[in-house]
Structure 1
Amino acid sequence: MSVYPIEFTQYFADYEQSFAGWDFAWVHDTGRIDSEPLDWSYVSLLTSQMASANCMLDMGTGGGELLSMLRPLPRQVFATEAYTPNVPIARKRLEPLGITVAALERDDDLPFTEGQFDLVINRHESYDPAELWRIMKPGARLITQQVGGTDCTGINDALGAPYNDEFRHWTLAFAVEQLQKQGFRIIRQQEQFPIQRFYDIGALIYYLKAIEWQIPGFEPALYIEQLYSIHLHIASHGYFDVRQDRFLLIAERG
């Protein structure tokens, strides 16, 4: 690494920065990563639905960052989180608000009763359509924003890293078909491929540490030459752009 200039290698310190919950403040709040706005607002879509809901489930709450800011909350609110280190973070943040946080092991085995929820919200979390059907009341709604299987594959291309085939099938069309086969009625569907912009190579390194499924086993030293090429691209153009993959689904249980 010593053959590379210090203005490049200094960014490798970002790989050592801690990442907890689902907090990207280290790079987002400092303006080192930016994203093109979506054509919808997930939170705005939730607001009217929450006002009429009695019992709501937030799937994949992370550290509870977003859920803790939603208002007005329904009378009963539950949250799940599958990433074990996030569970105590979420509980510390959400339990004082009266929200129960359940550690999750399997999408097809949720710790809730049949017909318990009249609203399920899900931002960037996996789900099992049959299990959703079981825990939702007739007429209950699912509002989910998902990350599609081609998300930020421009990073893989630039680094010469293979795609993560585990998620390549995950598209809006596939998700719609799944839900419809289960009996859900699709109220709204929309997809978009907005730009995600990295303003320095350290921000990209930090992102790949946090989003570990983008390039499984990523370590900066394994991609030093490619990272340097991106660094030179940023020095010349001011940024490095890739395309995100996002889709929105609102579905109603029959």
Structure 2
Amino acid sequence: MTEQEFYDKVGKTNGWDFSSIQCLSEGIGWDFYEEVVKRASVSDILLDIGTGGGEKVLDIASSFSLVIGIDNSKEMVQTARANLVKSSAQNVRFFQQPAEDLQFPNGFFDIASSRHCSFDSSQVAKVLKKGGWFLTQQVSEGDKSNLKQAFGRGQCFGEQDGTLKENCIKELQTAGFSKVEAYDYNSDEYFRTPEDLIFLLTHTPIIPDFGEQEGDLESLNAFIENNRTEKGIRTNSKRFLVIAKR
């Protein structure tokens, strides 16, 4: 299954709604969409790149005059539009559109955000107003390190931690952003039950082709036994945040 096929499958069944997972997190450094709202005024227009099922931007829509969420997955956009119908938001629109080719007027947006999704720095710079803000949160190479070690594979498995963040900073600076700041956190996560962990692995690409490779069940069971604590099944969540001013 290709990455696009995976996201289409998840988008059709779940979007990015993980609220059913019972997970205790300790040491989280920030809430990404709270950081977005901190830089907003009610007259601002927000672009959310890789919006998934739109759950997060629907929660903050009242902080903006207009919110536009885009995703390259048709299934994700359909889920987002269904979530919009169920919400009370009147100022949100969702479109299928690739992040590498933003079809909006130059300087149209006051703020742009991208959470756990790839983006094109030059395209973001093009559609942002001068003085506008871009915020992105991405998964670091060191995320879920013990889990990926147990399976012997995973997102960015074996890659140098910090490389993604440094590349992100350089690309934004090259695109003309005048002020670029970066932050990290590495929090502990405790999944209450094996079912909570399995739901995460089934609906994210942390372990590619989870459950489809020989030995996955044995690897999962061994991981659970080796990392079971009173708080839950322990792993880590490592993220970096980059905030850039146009």
Q: TM-score, normalised by structure 2?
A: 0.82
- Structure 2: distance between partners of 1:90 and 1:128: 22
Whether 1:164 and 2:155 are equivalent positions in the alignment is: yes
Unmatched tracts of structure 2, length 5 or more: 1-11
| Residue identity matched to 1:114 | N
1:228 counterpart = 2:218: no
The answer to whether the 8 A contact 2:15-2:76 is kept is yes
- Residue 17 of structure 2 is aligned to residue 23 of structure 1: yes
Q: Judging changes above 3 Å, is the alpha-carbon distance between structure 1 residues 84 and 22 closer, same or farther for their aligned structure 2 residues?
A: same
| 2:45 aligned residue (48, 55, 60) | 55
Q: Structure 1's 252 and 237: CA in aligned 2 closer, same or farther, altered over 3 A?
A: same
Structure 2 residue matching 1:66: 3-state secondary structure: helix
Structure 1 residues 228, 112: closer, same or farther in 2, change over 3 A?
Answer: same
Q: 1:85: how far off?
A: 1.7
Larger radius of gyration: 1
How many residues are treated as equivalent by the alignment? 229
Q: Distance in 2 between matches of 1:40 and 1:123?
A: 13
Name which of 125, 143, 167 aligns with 1:151: 143
Number of the residue aligned with 2:178:
185
In structure 2, which of residues 109, 123, 128 is the aligned counterpart of residue 131 of structure 1? Answer: 123
- Structure 2 Cα separation of the partners of residues 37 and 238 of structure 1: 14
Secondary structure in 2 matching 1:244: strand
221-230 or 55-64, larger mean C-alpha shift: 221-230
Relative distance call for 1:188 and 1:158 in structure 2 (3 A) is: same
Distance across 2 between alignment mates of 1:100 and 1:22: 17
CA distance in structure 2 between the partners assigned to 1:235 and 1:250 by the alignment: 36
Asked whether 1:207 is paired with 2:239, we answer: no
Distance, in Å, in 2 between the alignment partners of 1:180 and 1:201 is 42
Paired letter, 1:110? L
Secondary structure at 1:97 match in 2: coil
Q: RMSD over aligned Cα, in angstroms?
A: 2.5
User: Partner of 1:99 in structure 2?
Assistant: 92
Q: Which moved more, 1:39-48 or 1:84-93?
A: 39-48
Equivalence for 2:102:
110
Q: What CA distance in whole angstroms lies between the structure 1 residues aligned with 2:158 and 2:74?
A: 21
Higher alpha-carbon deviation: 163-172 or 43-52: 163-172
Among candidates 207, 224, 241, match of residue 248 of structure 1: 241
